[in-house]
Amino acid sequence: MKKICTKCKNPKALEVFARKGKGHQSYCLDCQKQNSAEWYINNKQQQLANINRNRKRDGSAFYAWKTTLHCYCCPENYPACLDFHHLHSKDFTVSERVMTAGLKTVSRELKKCIVLCSNCHRKLHSGVITLNNVVCLNVTAEDIRVFMPPPSDGAGTSNLSIAGSNPAGGTKIMEEVRSELTNRPIHQT
């Protein structure tokens, strides 16, 4: 079966059109690739600004979520001291990719990990301590997104205050959410 590309006006096999819902895109793959490249050139600064904004947002949310964690072996809970130790195959180091991989990808990787403070992590790798009946983190991207800052109105001001000045009790709500997430049961691997 053939379809006519609305950009180059050439009839082409249906296989060279990307799927869209139950049908296909109106541009062939070659024209779509060219169109995307042109769009990127014309909108490069805005696209880079969006990428940087999203990286900062995801990084902030991840760090805020990390404040709810503690070491599996000891009471250490300071976020900068906490590492993610992989119990299963390691695709990447979480701390190195949290700003670039996206929260869904990071949360999939976290499901292979446990939280250890840096001292306990070193002791584990040197054989000083061992882990028995260890369970992995049970985290989703949505669990981390809860900690994202509220959206901006475009003028650099926030539409919602969660830092304590919200008369509706934003701080209390965030504390309840954090409490719920930290008390959530973790699954056995």
pLDDT in tens, 87-124: 888 999 888 888 888 888 888 999 999 999 999 999 99
Angle among Cα 32, 99, 164 to the nearest 5 degrees reads 120
Q: Which two tokens stand for residue 87?
A: 């119990």
- pLDDT for 68 equals 92
Out of 42-46, 56-60, 106-110, 174-178, which region has the weakest mean confidence (pLDDT)?
Answer: 174-178
For residues 53 and 189, give the distance between their C-alpha atoms in angstroms, rounded to a whole number: 35
Query: Measuring CA to CA, which residue among 189, 173, 181, 183 is closest to residue 142?
Result: 181
Exposure on the CB side of residue 140, measured as CA atoms within 13 A: 5
What pTM does this model have? 0.60
Domain boundaries, the chain: 2-32, 42-151
Q: Is 143 helix (H, G, I), strand (E, B) or coil?
A: helix
Q: Which two tokens stand for residue 184?
A: 């959530």
Mean pLDDT, the chain, whole residue set: 79
